[in-house]
A and B are shown apart, each in its own frame.
Chain A
């Protein structure tokens, strides 16, 4: 039973990561590969703050979010001067730099050895020691993020994001501040990326940099793509699918390392198939009707119109 709870906690962590990423990658159309970096920054700030400064969870969470937000603000003013493909390469660079700092700044992060012994989570004197309690907490946070994102994306700001995804220059011409909207969405993505980081650090109580690599960023991005752009419900299903997939493969008797490779092979293939068929997410692929924001297939006119 504990193992089931463990998987569910992992699923909630990835749901938060992918849903917050979908704000930039899905709604605003700026595909970012730096999400694992912010995930890592959240986890490391939780570990360092709780071990060295003995702060409680409730104060660490906002501090970590704020810290991620500030970094994202600085990074986004740099990265958002580039567009599309170049933006991906730029965020990839940021991801590698963040990973490299986590891996090599031994004085602060203890380098490749990681930080062990993060104290268990307590809120108002209640210790979250068994997995069920922790699961409830992470579900609460997931629901909070989900509701916030749903409110946010259906608000007028969300419509600006969708508009600038379709046609940036047109959005500018009707008086919307495109650059500011992009910065806000990128910062919120990063701030919410810190929440699962903090959760993860407390849950496993040991973190090391190998968790927050480029591969992890690609994995989070593929949850968003497989879940479907602008489809928060789809992301929940995609996260559950991709986390449970290696378990299912292990269940039919494959050894551990082959199961891990096969999972990546399968999600790589799904990505290619989705783009090849032009379908929006795995539910669309199997013709299952989903709630959420329907999205028309992006036709190339929207992208070529800007270019001479």
Chain B
């Protein structure tokens, strides 16, 4: 049981980071950026490439791949989404474009690195530490701490920094923000940068814990989306609640039933929330969910 509790904490923090990376983009642009999943995978695969193939040290490989992922995110925004927004394309169509982009990027990864599962760890597998009769590896400990620190840092940035305030202004009302002299295109670019960087980090963390496949991002992204919808958009406490609710549900499913039913439970929760509480925990009124 202690192990379940520990697993809940680990996944909870991971989902928290994931949901924040996704929702920061959703906040300003208000569509589901599916290609985000490819950025998660790209972050992991670039680290794999630099670390294993170019045999750079991990401390060089990780910042390097995060930087490239950020650039990729910015490129996607500038080349694809910005012109689409300029033309006032409905968000449904942007979502389909994003889906196409995801298919494109994911298969690019398959083409370069193959479809099989890769491993970021080199050599021996370390035996984890024992805490209260539960087992935890050093990677998982660093996962918890890094996720928590990053989450707090980004929240503080959103709350107090000038750019963060502008992000919140744009997310609340983009026209009004423009009138008040905030360059909304710049701010959206900022959110893509921050979101993509965090996504790449999530990818690296997951890859070092369990390994890499080209489709790893899609499942993670969907969990992030579920957390965001459960928690309600734009609310940190909502995200925390959503992340730990999802993690608890998943690990209790594993404990009492079987790990193969995780997806069923996850999406049942999502659908139930979409029906009865489409605004999530926080209840922030957002877009046209009200019908």
Q: Interface on A for B, CB 8 Å cutoff? A: 29, 31, 78-79, 81-86, 88-90, 92-94, 96-97, 100-101, 103-104, 214, 218, 221-222, 225, 257-258, 261-262, 264-265, 267-272, 275-276, 278, 298-300, 303, 306-307
In the complex, the answer to whether B289 meets A82 with C-beta atoms within 8 Å is yes
Can you name 7 A-B residue pairings with CB atoms under 8 Å?
A31-B92, A90-B271, A103-B260, A214-B218, A268-B101, A269-B104, A278-B89
B126 at the interface (CB under 8 A from A): no
- The smallest beta-carbon distance between B228 and chain A, in angstroms, is 10
B110 at the interface (CB under 8 A from A): yes
In the complex, the answer to whether A81 meets B99 with C-beta atoms within 8 Å is no
Interchain CA distance A292-B258 in the complex, whole Å: 50
Q: Interface on B for A, CB 8 Å cutoff? A: 31-32, 80, 83-84, 87-97, 99-108, 110-111, 115, 218, 222, 225, 229, 258, 260-261, 263-264, 267-268, 270-271, 274-275, 278, 287-289, 291
Interchain CA distance A162-B98 in the complex, whole Å: 25
In the complex, the answer to whether A97 meets B268 with C-beta atoms within 8 Å is yes
**Most A-side CB within 10 Å, residue of B89, B101, B106, B218:** B89
Interface of chain B, main secondary structure = helix
Other 9 A-B pairs with CB < 8 A, given A82-B289, A82-B291, A84-B288: A82-B275, A85-B91, A88-B32, A89-B32, A89-B270, A100-B264, A103-B260, A275-B94, A276-B80
In the complex, the answer to whether B100 meets A300 with C-beta atoms within 8 Å is no
Interchain CA distance A104-B258 in the complex, whole Å: 10
Interchain CA distance A88-B92 in the complex, whole Å: 9
What are the 5 closest A-B residue pairs judged by CB atoms, nearest first? A271-B100, A268-B104, A268-B103, A93-B267, A300-B88
* CB-nearest residue of chain A to B285: A308
In the complex, the answer to whether B289 meets A218 with C-beta atoms within 8 Å is no
- The smallest beta-carbon distance between A106 and chain B, in angstroms, is 10
| Complex partner residue of A262 from B87, B88, B111, B229, CB under 8 angstroms | B111
In the complex, the answer to whether A265 meets B271 with C-beta atoms within 8 Å is no
In the complex, the answer to whether A264 meets B267 with C-beta atoms within 8 Å is no
In the complex, the answer to whether B100 meets A89 with C-beta atoms within 8 Å is no
Interchain CA distance A79-B80 in the complex, whole Å: 29
Contacts of B92 in A (CB 8 A): 29, 31, 84-85, 88, 303
Contacts of B270 in A (CB 8 A): 89-90, 93
Interchain CA distance A298-B92 in the complex, whole Å: 11
Interchain CA distance A294-B92 in the complex, whole Å: 20
In the complex, the answer to whether A272 meets B260 with C-beta atoms within 8 Å is no
Contacts of B89 in A (CB 8 A): 275, 278, 300
* CB-nearest residue of chain A to B218: A214
In the complex, the answer to whether A94 meets B271 with C-beta atoms within 8 Å is yes
Known: A84-B91, A85-B31. A78 touches B271 (CB 8 A): yes
In the complex, the answer to whether B288 meets A307 with C-beta atoms within 8 Å is yes
Known: A83-B291, A103-B260, A307-B288. A272 touches B80 (CB 8 A): yes
Contacts of A303 in B (CB 8 A): 90-92
- The smallest beta-carbon distance between A301 and chain B, in angstroms, is 8
Contacts of B105 in A (CB 8 A): 268
In the complex, the answer to whether A82 meets B32 with C-beta atoms within 8 Å is no
Contacts of A307 in B (CB 8 A): 287-288
In the complex, the answer to whether B222 meets A92 with C-beta atoms within 8 Å is yes
Interchain CA distance A79-B102 in the complex, whole Å: 24
- The smallest beta-carbon distance between B124 and chain A, in angstroms, is 31
**Most A-side CB within 10 Å, residue of B93, B94, B222:** B93
Known: A92-B222, A261-B110. A299 touches B100 (CB 8 A): no
- The smallest beta-carbon distance between A201 and chain B, in angstroms, is 23
In the complex, the answer to whether A275 meets B264 with C-beta atoms within 8 Å is no
- The smallest beta-carbon distance between B286 and chain A, in angstroms, is 11
Known: A83-B291, A89-B229, A93-B270. A271 touches B90 (CB 8 A): no
| Complex partner residue of B263 from A81, A85, A88, A100, CB under 8 angstroms | A100
* CB-nearest residue of chain A to B215: A215
| Complex partner residue of A267 from B32, B103, B264, CB under 8 angstroms | B103
- The smallest beta-carbon distance between A296 and chain B, in angstroms, is 14
* CB-nearest residue of chain B to A226: B100
- The smallest beta-carbon distance between B137 and chain A, in angstroms, is 28
Contacts of A222 in B (CB 8 A): 100, 103
* CB-nearest residue of chain A to B219: A96
In the complex, the answer to whether B95 meets A268 with C-beta atoms within 8 Å is no
Interchain CA distance A283-B39 in the complex, whole Å: 32
- The smallest beta-carbon distance between A65 and chain B, in angstroms, is 24
- The smallest beta-carbon distance between B100 and chain A, in angstroms, is 3
- The smallest beta-carbon distance between B97 and chain A, in angstroms, is 4
Interchain CA distance A93-B105 in the complex, whole Å: 22
| Complex partner residue of B93 from A92, A275, A306, CB under 8 angstroms | A275
Contacts of B90 in A (CB 8 A): 84, 298, 300, 303
In the complex, the answer to whether A306 meets B107 with C-beta atoms within 8 Å is no
Interchain CA distance A82-B31 in the complex, whole Å: 15
Contacts of A298 in B (CB 8 A): 90, 93
Known: A86-B274, A298-B90. A268 touches B100 (CB 8 A): yes
Contacts of B274 in A (CB 8 A): 81-82, 86, 89-90
